[in-house]
């Protein structure tokens, strides 16, 4: 008992206690989108994590991601795939390093050619790394598939970047 009267217990035994909102189940089937809309996908080797990443890409980027993946497979049959650092990675074979990756940003998809400075012609966007060059794919611009295929073939013939 207190000066204000009997002490009220809070909780399930007290019908006057405010009801707690029910916890909403977490939907683990839909990956979280990080800043810029990049999907957060658990790292993993093989095609399945790459396909999960592509399926989680937002809006117009999903179709472009699927097309990039198909073009890479066309250019490099049997390409080794993985997701690392929330980005799909492509290599010639397991343990041989990576030649390409892509990542979603708010207004574009950034394709990284890890030895891009050696490609002809050089992909248009520079990097802090002297070896790496980027291709930015915007919704409003069509992908030059012939040039992209050529870059992928050239990149896959170079030593892979070990990460």
Structure tokens at 91: 């290599």
CATH of the domain at 124: 3.90.1150.200
In a domain, 145, yes or no: yes
Q: Is residue 139 part of a domain?
A: yes
Residue 1 lies in a domain: no
> For 154, what's the count of Cα atoms within 13 Å in the CB-facing half-sphere?
17
Q: Report how far residue 42's alpha carbon sits from residue 49's, in angstroms, rounded to the nearest whole number.
A: 7
Looking at the domain assignment, is residue 24 inside a domain?
no
Is residue 28 situated within a structural domain? no
Whether the model pTM is above 0.85: no
- Residue-wise pLDDT for 90-106, tens only, equals 999 998 999 999 999 99
pLDDT for the residue numbered 37: 84
Is 27 inside a domain boundary? no
Does residue 17 form part of some domain? Answer: no
**Domain of 105, in residue numbers:** 35-156
Q: How many domains does the chain have?
A: 1
- Whether pLDDT at 146 is above 80: yes
Distance CA 75, CA 58 (A): 25
Please report whether residue 90 resides in a domain: yes
């Amino acid at each position: 008992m207190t000066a204000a009267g009997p002490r009220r217990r809070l909780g399930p035994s007290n019908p006057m206690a405010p009801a707690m909102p029910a916890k909403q189940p977490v939907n683990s089937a839909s990956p979280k989108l990080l800043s810029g809309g990049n999907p957060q996908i658990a790292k993993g080797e093989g095609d399945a994590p790459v396909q999960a990443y592509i399926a989680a890409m937002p809006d117009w980027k999903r179709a472009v991601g699927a097309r990039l993946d198909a073009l890479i497979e066309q250019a490099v049959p049997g390409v080794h795939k993985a997701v690392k650092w929330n980005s799909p990675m492509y290599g010639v074979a397991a343990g041989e390093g990576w030649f390409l990756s892509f990542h979603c940003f708010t207004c574009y998809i950034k394709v990284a050619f890890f030895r891009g400075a050696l490609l002809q012609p050089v992909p248009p966007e520079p990097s802090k790394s002297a070896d790496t060059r980027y291709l930015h794919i915007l919704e409003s611009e069509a992908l030059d598939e012939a040039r992209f295929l050529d870059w992928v073939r050239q990149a896959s013939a170079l030593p892979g970047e070990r990460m």
